[in-house]
Amino acid sequence: MADSPILSMRGIDKSFGAIQVLHSVDFNVYPGEVMALVGDNGAGKSTLIKCVGGIYPIDHGDVFFEGTPVTIHGPRDAAALGIEIVYQDLALCDNLDIVQNMFLGREIKKRPFGNLDEPAMEQRARETLKSLSVRTVKSVRQVVSSLSGGQRQTVAIAKAVLWNNRVVLLDEPTAALGVAQTRQVLDLVRRLAQSGLGVVLISHNMNDVMEVADRITTLYLGRVAAEVKRADVTYQQVVELITTGRTGTIGLQPATAAESA
Amino acid sequence: MTTQGSTPSPVEPTTSTALHHQEGSSPEAPSHSITDFTADFGAANLRETVHAYIAKVRGGEPGALPALLGLVVLVLTFGFTTKLFISVGNLANVPGQAAPTIIIAMGLVFVLLLGEIDLAAGTAAGACSGAMALAVNNNGNLAKVLHGGTFGAYVIFMAVALIVALWQRLWLGAAAVLFGLVILLTHLASNDVVSIALAVTTGTAIGVLTGILVARVGIPSFVVTLALFLTWQGVLLLFEGNGATVPTRGFAAINGIENKNLSPMWGWIVFVVSVVGYGTVTIFRSVRRRARNLSAEPLVLVLLRLVLLIVVGAFSVYFLNKNRGKGLVKIEGMPWIVPIVLVLLVVLTLLLTKTAFGRYLYAVGGNAEGSLRAGINVPRMRVSAFTISSSLAAFGGVALASYSGGVNSGAGGGNTLLFAVGAAVVGGTSLFGGRGRIRDAVLGGLVITLIPNGLGLHSNMSSAYNFVITGAFLLMAAAVDAASRRRSAV
Ligand SMILES: Nc1ncnc2c1ncn2[C@@H]1O[C@H](COP(=O)(O)OP(=O)(O)OP(=O)(O)O)[C@@H](O)[C@H]1O
Ligand SMILES: [Mg+2]
């Protein structure tokens, strides 16, 4: 396992108005590993992800990519670094079809006029969906509004793996999925890590987390309770970290935990 | 369905590369690559095509159907109830009557796609054409005719728009506004063609500033354009003085837009070029995409549409080429406005369907937050949409001036805007954003125009009926829009 993170966030503060949502958060993603990000509802997981993606600007703190400091001003900066995010609240356009959604913002264009290369996009979209074993979609030219929740989720994931990424962050990707599709997504998460990517998985399902994660970061009320190796903790300990911010000697000091609450 | 060659297994040890773009992966043979996506390859025959079409309409995508039905109903009704409706003299008037509404509506499609509205498009059209008319009548010297303060404000307005356009990096818009500023400060607008450019570029400036108020300042477009609706009306009054009309009949380029005709031979050339061009592109696309195993429209459908177009087009050209002059004066041929609208239709449709810019307009209209996350500069898209809309509105104003022979101090007011919005909506553009096409403006504009045209031939029908019936059509269109939105959840 690699020990130097590919993506590293140091001391991230983030407030919405008067409410501080993230308190000096340290977060690392290692190449070839799955980092699970867990925490109760409202702990700040999605907010942290959106800071990585450049959706929210961070108030304080530093971001390092492969050891060099970077600033991410917007989604395009993140994409340029090879960071792909599957957001919890799906970011698909209902009125566009699957292909159009998968390439949104990064269309393949033809020379010399820069018009859209629909055949190329359609072919690649189909290949990617096939590699994810998407079976239930009738047409890649279907508008997204006609898809089921799980199918949309799959399209959103396919959109993220379409590109040559270094880091993929998935915010509760299996929440809307059936048993078989969940299995596929978990397998995909492992495959992505095996191919050398840094993968972040946010999930409330501890069984899934314990199965696929190499490391686990727990957020407790906007603070990092602990970053641990999956092999070093038990299921019970992770649950305690999520609900109380500490377990045994690991976790926030009682005072800090109380202060955050 | 699953055939040899494809790998349906979810777990493939070597898929890490398969997840990414496979450079040079050859297109697989048709029967090998299809595991699912069966519907991509569309209907194979006419029956399936019809079924697919019905399914689409019922699924909430009525397309051009309601507008076409409306046209057929209107033509049949007026055709049977009046003698004159289906006569060369009357039908040859329709393009000219419809064009201002159509052109303004084309611009509105861009704004409506984003789920916004431009209530000021009509009065902006009036003010821009007013500037044009005054300039061309006074050797391009607006400084002389306008009140000093008014002229100064005009120049400052254009300069501010230029700066904003540069700030938003709307290069094309900035170039247009700069051109307008140059025309304004020199006396170039003594030339009638250049005076038209003054109108259009003033529209560009109006659009840039409208857009910035909506997209960056964050005022709802309904409020911004309601305020500007009043403003431009006032500006036109300032330009011309109350009750005045500035004539444009004497200026060939302006007058010709609505009142000059192509020779019959050129009419046929326009027809052949349009039909051959459209036919080649659509047939070629269908055949080639199918051969490459991509989703494609069935050829039958393409051919059917082409035949319909040929029949309607040939009929129109034949009709327009007949002499409709009374007495000794021979009036024949396709009005210039027809190819002008056709060119706009083609260019703007290409912009919406073949470019990333067009794609982003739809995306922002469908899901602004999602578009933002995809890296699209959403505010800039909004400013662009208003810029295009107002520029086209200004050109619609030019057509209106050409049609009425001048610009009166109330031009573009009244129902001008409402009819244009009505045209877009009747044509099938959604008021909720995310759905609409340029052709909607054309079809809807024809519907909106045929109503007063046909009613006018009934001597006992007052204009009251015109408003009531137009209102009813608009309500029906809005109902179709709402219903299809519910069905398709777009
Ligand atoms: N745009 C926003 N404006 C104000 N407050 C926000 C905003 N987004 C999130 N918050 C607040 O920040 C806190 C963290 O929210 P976040 O969505 O990051 O939680 P989460 O860990 O992803 O929870 P869940 O598991 O429910 O998805 C919550 O208290 C939420 O109310
Ligand atoms: Mg969340």
d(CA A261, CA B173): 53
Backbone φ, ψ for residue B105 (5° rounding): -65, -35
Which tens digits make up the pLDDT trace of A162-190?
A: 887 899 999 998 887 888 888 888 988 99
**pLDDT, position B43:** 58
Percentage of chain A surpassing pLDDT 70?
A: 95
Query: For ligand 2, a single-atom ion, which residues have Cβ within 5 Å?
Result: A 46, 88
Which tens digits make up the pLDDT trace of B113-146?
A: 999 999 999 999 999 999 999 999 999 999 999 9
Q: Is the peptide bond before A112 cis (omega within 30 degrees of 0)?
A: yes
d(CA A76, CA B376): 8
B286-300 as b/e: b if 16+ CB within 10 A: beebbeebbbbbbbb
Closest CA to A240 of A215, A220, A211, A210: A220
Question: With an 8 Å Cβ cutoff, are A75 and B289 in contact?
Answer: no
d(CA A172, CA A217): 15
Interface membership of A72 toward B (CB under 8 Å) = no
Query: Best-predicted range by mean pLDDT among A191-195, A247-251, B41-45, B460-464?
Result: A191-195
Percentage of chain A surpassing pLDDT 90?
A: 61
Atom of ligand 1 nearest to the CA of A40: 25
- Domain locations along chain B: 7-41, 58-260+335-489, 276-333
Q: Starting from the CA of residue A171, give the closest ligand.
A: 2
Percentage of chain B surpassing pLDDT 90?
A: 65
Nearest CB among B21, B359, B435 relative to A116 is that of B359
Per-residue pLDDT at B104 exceeds 60: yes
Distance B20 CA to ligand 2 centre (A): 27
Question: With an 8 Å Cβ cutoff, are A139 and B374 in contact?
Answer: no
Q: Closest approach of chain A CAs to the CA of B14, in angstroms? A: 9
Backbone φ, ψ for residue A100 (5° rounding): -60, -40
Verify whether ligand 1 is closer than 6 Å to residue A45 (CB atom). yes
d(CA B209, CA B161): 6
- CA-based torsion, B250, B252, B257, B262: positive or negative: positive
Nearest CB among A94, A115, A127 relative to B354 is that of A115
Question: With an 8 Å Cβ cutoff, are B40 and A140 in contact?
Answer: yes
Cβ–Cβ under 8 Å, residues B245 and B126: no
d(CA B130, CA B199): 8
Q: What is the helix (H) or strand (E) element at residue A220, kind and residue range?
A: strand A215-220
**ipTM score assigned to the predicted complex:** 0.89
Nearest CB among B35, B355, B372 relative to A130 is that of B35
Percentage of chain B surpassing pLDDT 70?
A: 89
- CA-based torsion, A212, A217, A222, A225: positive or negative: positive
The burial of A3, by beta-carbon neighbours within 10 Å (0-12 exposed, 13-18 middle, 19 or more buried), is given as exposed
Residue nearest to atom 7 of ligand 1 (CA): A16
Mutation choice for ligand 1 from A15, A47, A204, CB with most ligand atoms inside 8 A = A47
Instruction: Say which residue, B286 or B130, is predicted with more confidence.
Output: B130
What residues contact residue A46 under an 8 Å CB cut-off, 6+ apart? A87, A88, A171, A202
B86-96 as b/e: b if 16+ CB within 10 A: eebebbbebbb
Record the tokens describing residue A116, joined without a space.
């859209």
Cβ–Cβ under 8 Å, residues A144 and B489: no
**pLDDT, position B252:** 93
Question: With an 8 Å Cβ cutoff, are B21 and A162 in contact?
Answer: yes
d(CA A238, CA A226): 9
| Cβ-based contacts of B374 with chain A (< 8 Å) | 75, 91, 104-106
The burial of A73, by beta-carbon neighbours within 10 Å (0-12 exposed, 13-18 middle, 19 or more buried), is given as exposed
Most A CBs within 10 Å: which of B37, B48, B281, as the mutation test of the A interface?
Answer: B37
Verify whether ligand 1 is closer than 6 Å to residue A41 (CB atom). yes
Q: Write down the CATH superfamily of domain A1-82+165-261.
A: P-loop containing nucleotide triphosphate hydrolases (3.40.50.300)
Closest CA to B254 of B337, B183, B330: B337
| Cβ-based contacts of A114 with chain B (< 8 Å) | 355-356
Q: What is the mean pLDDT of chain A?
A: 89
Distance B371 CA to ligand 1 centre (A): 21
d(CA B350, CA B361): 13
Question: With an 8 Å Cβ cutoff, are A138 and B39 in contact?
Answer: yes
Distance A182 CA to ligand 2 centre (A): 18
Distance A49 CA to ligand 2 centre (A): 9
What residue of A is the nearest CA neighbor of B489? Answer: A145
Q: What residues are paired with A29 via a beta bridge?
A: A7
Distance B333 CA to ligand 1 centre (A): 66
The burial of B275, by beta-carbon neighbours within 10 Å (0-12 exposed, 13-18 middle, 19 or more buried), is given as middle
Verify whether ligand 1 is closer than 6 Å to residue A42 (CB atom). yes
Per-residue pLDDT at B162 exceeds 80: yes
Q: How far is CA A29 from CA A157, A216, B334, in A?
A: 19, 10, 68
Cβ–Cβ under 8 Å, residues B433 and B365: yes
pLDDT classification of B14: cutoffs 50, 70, 90:
very low
**pLDDT, position B427:** 93
